[in-house]
């Protein structure tokens, strides 16, 4: 695996993976600044800044930014998550320096023009409205709010109409001053690239990105809770979850394997019991989300209102049984699926660039494929059971959208899982 890492004198880190069999490359900048870093009066500002980055600099207007990339046959994108903001593009490998020139321009010399800002706030208000009209998205917003109440990590990434409408250029500049620094940024590239070329372009083009100390994040405090929204829908959307572990926890791999066995595919316990045997839902999936200092494990499904009580009971019983008696056969299958996921990421320049950037920021290094496979192979049944039981004995979080009365409250969830 040809991963190379260079730290520039400014503190900016450059990580690349040359994939010689490819002709294209994915190149971007990852910043350790996301929704959980916002103050109360900044809710939604990280996401707004991501949008505004493409709205013009002193050198390029908004149209020129996208035309330069698309004229080269590429596409430009950005994303805001709970802990990171990403700006990246996919192009031919020879055009990687062009991408870095454009990204350095938008990250160090954006105008944040008032007229553009007002237009983009309107776009985001439409995006918020779209989520409100999408129950399977909205239920996860409710879930996160209940899991981490009164904390930025639990708030919706998009913000609220009231907050977004009130942001101005001064708000943006103040946030950037606190959170955008070479000390928490990574340039990552994968595909048909040369490490030295990327390093040289980064050194020449990102000199204006400041190196300043960044305040430590507030530690997340999981509490769990209950959040329900009654709506007239054909189905009720349900999410039930628990506290799990973060990236750096010794049980991180075990937690992911447990989630995979519980509900990670058509052969999983949840899918087989809930859909195949009982026909209670079209789909049911488990999830394991890891953050820097905490994580969330749970399952999600949609079902007819009358079937929600049975679905919840059956699913919780499946999770409890999985923590008690998962088999070597299930473990072998889950390990194989995780290895395929790893190899799939290695076959995509975009997925690989995102992976190495996040690993470098979260772990401080990029594990080799051999290291990851060894960690997976070393897991045994008892470790997986313990990881699952540890999650299931934390306070439950319940969220639903639809006819919400049928879902169990957290106390009933705990009662159902007694004895895990």
30-79 tens-digit pLDDT: 999 999 999 999 999 999 999 999 999 999 999 999 999 999 999 999 99
Residue 1 confidence (pLDDT): 56
Residue 141 confidence (pLDDT): 98
pTM score above 0.85: yes
Measured distance CA(62)–CA(55) in Å, rounded: 4
Intervals of the chain under pLDDT 50: none
φ, ψ for residue 187 (rounded to 5)? -95, 125
DSSP track, 87-137 = EEEEEEGGGHHHHHHHHHHHHHSB---HHHHHHHHHHHHHHHHHHHT-HHH
Residue 67 confidence (pLDDT): 97
Residue 345 confidence (pLDDT): 78
Measured distance CA(294)–CA(220) in Å, rounded: 7
Measured distance CA(225)–CA(231) in Å, rounded: 20
157-171 tens-digit pLDDT: 999 999 999 999 999
Active-site residue set:
50
Domains and CATH numbers, the chain: 3-205 (3.30.830.10), 225-416 (3.30.830.10)
């Amino acid at each position: 695996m040809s991963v190379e890492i260079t730290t520039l004198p400014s503190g900016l880190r450059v990580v690349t993976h040359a994939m010689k069999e490819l002709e294209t490359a994915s190149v971007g900048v990852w910043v350790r600044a996301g929704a959980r870093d916002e103050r109360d009066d900044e809710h939604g500002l990280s996401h707004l800044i991501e949008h505004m980055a493409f709205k013009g600099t002193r050198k390029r207007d908004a149209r020129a930014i996208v035309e330069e990339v698309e004229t080269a046959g590429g596409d430009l994108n950005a994303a805001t998550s709970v802990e990171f903001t990403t700006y990246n593009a996919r192009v031919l490998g020879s055009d990687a320096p062009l991408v870095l020139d454009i990204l350095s321009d938008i990250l160090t010399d954006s105008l944040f023009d008032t007229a553009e800002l007002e237009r983009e706030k309107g776009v985001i208000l439409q995006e918020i409205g779209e989520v409100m009209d999408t129950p399977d998205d909205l239920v996860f917003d409710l879930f996160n709010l209940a899991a981490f109440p009164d904390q930025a990590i639990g708030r919706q990434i998009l913000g609220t109409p009231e907050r977004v409408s009130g942001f101005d250029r001064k708000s943006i500049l103040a946030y950037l001053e606190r959170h955008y620094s070479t000390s928490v940024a990574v340039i990552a590239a994968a595909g048909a690239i040369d490490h030295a070329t990327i390093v040289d372009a980064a050194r020449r083009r990102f000199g204006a990105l400041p190196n300043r100390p960044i305040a430590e994040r507030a530690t997340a405090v999981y509490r769990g809770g209950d959040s329900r929204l009654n709506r007239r829908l054909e189905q009720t959307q349900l999410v039930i979850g628990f506290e799990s572990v973060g990236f750096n926890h010794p049980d991180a791999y075990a937690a992911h394997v447990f989630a995979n066995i519980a509900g990670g595919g058509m052969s999983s316990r949840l899918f087989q019991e809930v859909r195949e045997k009982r026909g209670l839902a079209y789909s049911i999936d488990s999830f394991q989300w890891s953050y820097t200092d905490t994580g969330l494990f749970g399952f999600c499904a949609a079902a007819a209102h009358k079937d929600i009580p049975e679905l919840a009971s059956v699913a919780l019983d499946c999770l409890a049984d999985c923590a008690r008696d998962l088999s070597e056969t299930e473990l072998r299958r889950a390990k194989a699926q995780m290895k395929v996921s790893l190899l799939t990421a290695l076959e995509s320049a975009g997925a690989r660039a995102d992976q190495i950037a996040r690993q470098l920021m979260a772990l401080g290094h990029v594990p080799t494929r051999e290291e990851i496979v060894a960690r997976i192979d070393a897991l045994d049944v008892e470790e997986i059971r313990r990881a699952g039981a540890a999650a299931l004995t934390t306070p439950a979080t319940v969220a639903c959208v639809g006819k919400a009365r049928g879902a169990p409250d957290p106390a009933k969830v705990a009662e159902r899982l007694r004895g895990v």
